[in-house]
Structure 1
Amino acid sequence: MTAIRLIQRALSAASIVVLVGCGSATIGTTGKPAMAKWVGSVSAPDGGQLQTTIYYGPWQCSAAFLSRCESKCAAQGHALMGCMWLADIKGDWKGRYLFMPAEAGGRLAITHCCCDYPTVSDGKWRRDTWQSARESFRRKWSSEFGAWPKTSGGENWAGHHIFDLAHGGAPTAAGNVIPVPGDVHKVFTNEYPACYAPGGKWLTPGPDRPYTD
């Protein structure tokens, strides 16, 4: 198995997220440090090591991300209200290939297109479904990226739904949930209504590389 294939496996969930939102690969960084960061690792089948780093925003989407979101919303018969760049997931693989030391990596943006979707009528069912499935979801996620993060007091980080449940997001889709620390989750929760509201900052383009490692 090639190094590139290994890193593709490490970023498989992130790739799904890109389809759910309006994300893309990002290369290089500028700006202020991310609001928070998490690092986890798992052993690869060949004995190498896969490390996942999540950098947390939120940041205003770049012009390219906004354009993709606008096209996505229009294709569904909706108008774009805003776009939130929630996080970046960076994957790094180190191991051996053809008996030589080798490395590979990549970085993907996790974004959400706030189309003018109506709120759903089955919100309670979606929340209850997540509550029932979250323990098994965490175990599966941990097998791919490393132990689900916890607070210093041992409490699990919240699972944030990228496409929010209130507007029809899937409760347990592998690419629709990422672990988020409590303070960042509060910011996400507070900003989502603003993203869906007309004329807000989330419709204004931000930089292509909004943070530093």
Structure 2
Amino acid sequence: MKMDFQGTVMRAGSRFGMTHCCCNYGKLSPDQTAAARSRWSNARPGFREAWANRFGAWPTEPNGRLYEGHHVRDLWHGGNPTDWDNIIPFPKDLHTELFDLYNECYANDPPWTQVGVDYPYGE
């Protein structure tokens, strides 16, 4: 497990995530989203190389396929396509599942409309 987090404790383990929820961001136009996706596609090889220099090789699936880059604040809602703090490697199946959850969140569907746990970062 890598323990080289760079950031403030307020952003990592506080209510920052709840008050800056991805579900609160408006959608970009299709052209803006396409431009962001193109920026990520063009930067992906260099980003993975820089990642390898910093953290070790970009993770791969058992079949050798490279993990997908998950944008925490997704590109469709204005996430920076090349920001270190916005990209996490995810296996394709989990990334697809995460994408479905994001869509539920944006649609304001359960469980996103319910009150959560008392200590969201500790339970």
Alignment match of 2:104 (pick from 165, 188, 194): 194
Shift in Å, 1:114: 2.3
1:156 to 66, 69, 72: 66
Is 1:118 paired with 2:118?
A: no
| CA distance in structure 2 between the partners assigned to 1:69 and 1:173 by the alignment | 17
Any idea what the Cα deviations from partners look like across 1:22-79, whole Å, max 9, x if unmatched? 8424xxxxxxxxxxxxxxxxxxxxxxxxxxxxxxxxxxxxxx53xx34544xxxxxxx
Distance 1:199 1:23, change over 3 A: farther
Compare the two structures and name the one with the higher strand fraction.
1
Tell whether 2:113 aligns with 1:205.
no
Structure with more relative contact order (C-alpha pairs < 8 Å, separation 6 or more): 1
- Please list every run of 5 or more consecutive structure 1 residues that lacks an aligned counterpart in the other structure: 1-6, 26-63, 73-112
Q: Does 1:11 align with 2:5?
A: yes
Q: Give the fraction of aligned pairs with identical amino acids, expressed as a percent.
A: 35
Pair 1:131 & 2:41 matched: yes
Distance 2:50 2:70 in 1: 16
Higher helix fraction: Structure 1 or Structure 2?
2
Bigger mean CA offset, 161-170 vs 199-208: 199-208
| Structure 2: gaps of 5 or more residues | none
Give the aligned CA root-mean-square deviation in angstroms.
2.3
Q: What's the counterpart of residue 104 of structure 1? A: none
The 3 A distance-change label for structure 1 pair 70 and 184 is closer
Q: Distance in 2 between matches of 1:186 and 1:70?
A: 23
Shift of 1:139: 0.9
Larger radius of gyration: 1
Q: What is the aligned residue count?
A: 116
- Quickly say closer, same or farther: Cα 1:11–1:69, change in 2 above 3 A: closer
